[in-house]
């Protein structure tokens, strides 16, 4: 026996937007036995499998076009206006579990677009949330993941800057400063969710407190990849797993203090499964 001392980070796990979406899905599944969901309800394969086994049916936008008269869940990432227009056309009942923080951001971007602002969005290309934000601007906004993508010499003199809700706060303000230093007038909108961004600081403290870290996340989670790197930078003995079966016993030494943590898309039950596996060593 390795006699590991294992602790789960109480700040890890689902953010409130994901909790809201999953609770809404489970209520309908318990009542109706099935529910369509536009895209993975959360970027965690194990949680998706659990809900699929309860009757959740994952579809994409192509399949949505051929669906009629059904209930369809809009996940926390939100959707562009075109999805709502299609729902009306196909007599679909949308169960809107869009995160309130995302909805507020969509409204702010729509208001700026209506005022003819030059809109720039700091976010990940192709991300579901970002696609929903772009839809508020008829896909006219400029999306960038890194300031190196922008042609600073030929940008408008005045822009309105937004951010995907899950981006890094420090990086956002660094981008804002660089733009202003280049003489660009920036109307800055800090639209980053603090429940998500604060995980960065909390995880640095957590990761430094243990001999080894097991970071639990789905491989599709952008948030998971970013927070894993935060842990690894603070504690090089950090290991990424999506399932308890991926844990290797030789990562640990006898008596190690092991911290288990995860992304905003990682369910607590999965971190508990990881903890229980470690305690059996």
18: its two tokens: 């994901």
Ordered structural domains, the chain, with CATH: 5-13+198-279 (3.40.1010.20), 16-98 (3.40.50.11270), 101-192 (3.40.1010.20)
Whether the per-residue pLDDT at 198 is higher than 90: the answer is no
For the cut 90, the answer to whether the pLDDT of residue 123 exceeds it is yes
pLDDT at 221: 87
The answer on pLDDT for 222 being more than 90 is no
CA atoms of 236 and 247, how far apart (whole Å): 16
Task: Write the DSSP string, 41-89.
Answer: SSS-HHHHHHHHTTTEEEE-HHHHTT--S-EEEE-TT---HHHHHHHHH
Q: What average pLDDT does this structure show over 68-85?
A: 96
Reported as a single tens digit per residue, the pLDDT across 22-47 is 999 999 999 999 999 999 999 899 99
Question: Average pLDDT, stretch 109-135?
Answer: 96
pLDDT band (50, 70, 90) for residue 177: very high
Query: Locate tokens 């929903």: which residue?
Result: 132
**Sign of the dihedral through C-alpha 236, 197, 278, 270:** negative
DSSP H or E segment with residue 36? strand 35-38
Residue pair 263/229 in contact by the 8 Å Cβ criterion = no
Using a pLDDT cut of 90, give the percent of the chain over it: 90
Distance CA 281, CA 125 (A): 42
Q: What is the pLDDT of residue 210?
A: 98
Confidence class for position 195, pLDDT limits 50, 70, 90 = confident
SS3 26: helix
Q: What's the pLDDT tens digit per position in 223-254?
A: 898 899 999 999 999 999 999 999 999 999 99
Give 260's contacts (C-beta < 8 A, 6+ positions apart).
6, 7, 8, 9, 12, 213, 214, 216, 271, 274, 275, 278
Q: pLDDT value at position 181?
A: 95
**What separation in angstroms does the CA of 116 have from each of 76, 151, 191?**
28, 21, 20
For a pLDDT cut of 70, what percent of the chain falls above it?
100
Average confidence (pLDDT) over 52-68: 97
189: tokens are 């909108």
Position 145 scores a pLDDT of 95
pLDDT band at 194 (very low <50, low <70, confident <90, very high): confident
Q: Which residues are catalytic?
A: 129
**pLDDT confidence bin for 196, thresholds 50/70/90:** confident
């Amino acid at each position: 026996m390795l006699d590991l001392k294992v602790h789960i980070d109480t700040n890890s796990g689902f953010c409130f937007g994901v909790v809201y979406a999953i609770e809404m899905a489970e209520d309908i599944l318990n009542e109706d036995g099935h529910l369509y969901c536009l895209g993975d309800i959360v970027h965690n394969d194990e949680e998706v499998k659990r809900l699929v086994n309860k009757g959740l049916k994952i579809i994409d936008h192509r399949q949505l076009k051929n669906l009629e008269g059904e209930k369809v869940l809009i996940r926390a990432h939100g959707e562009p206006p075109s999805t709502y227009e299609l729902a009306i056309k196909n007599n679909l009942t949308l169960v809107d579990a869009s995160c309130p923080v995302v909805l507020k951001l969509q409204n702010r971007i729509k208001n700026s677009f209506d005022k003819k602002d030059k809109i720039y969005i700091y976010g990940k290309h192709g991300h579901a949330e970002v696609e929903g934000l772009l839809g508020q601007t008829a896909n006219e906004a400029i999306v960038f993941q890194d300031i190196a993508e922008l042609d600073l010499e030929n940008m408008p003199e005045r822009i309105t800057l937004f951010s995907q809700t899950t981006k890094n706060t420090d990086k956002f303000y660094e981008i804002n400063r660089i733009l202003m230093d280049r003489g660009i007038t920036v109307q800055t909108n800090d639209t980053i969710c603090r429940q998500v961004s604060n995980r960065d600081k909390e995880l640095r403290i957590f990761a430094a407190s243990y001999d080894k870290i097991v970071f639990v996340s789905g491989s599709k989670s952008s948030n998971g990849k970013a927070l894993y790197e935060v842990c690894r930078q603070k504690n090089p003995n950090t290991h990424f797993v999506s399932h308890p079966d991926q844990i290797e016993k030789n990562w640990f030494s006898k008596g190690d203090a092991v911290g288990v943590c995860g992304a905003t898309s990682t369910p607590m039950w999965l971190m508990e499964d990881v903890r229980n596996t470690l305690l059996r060593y």
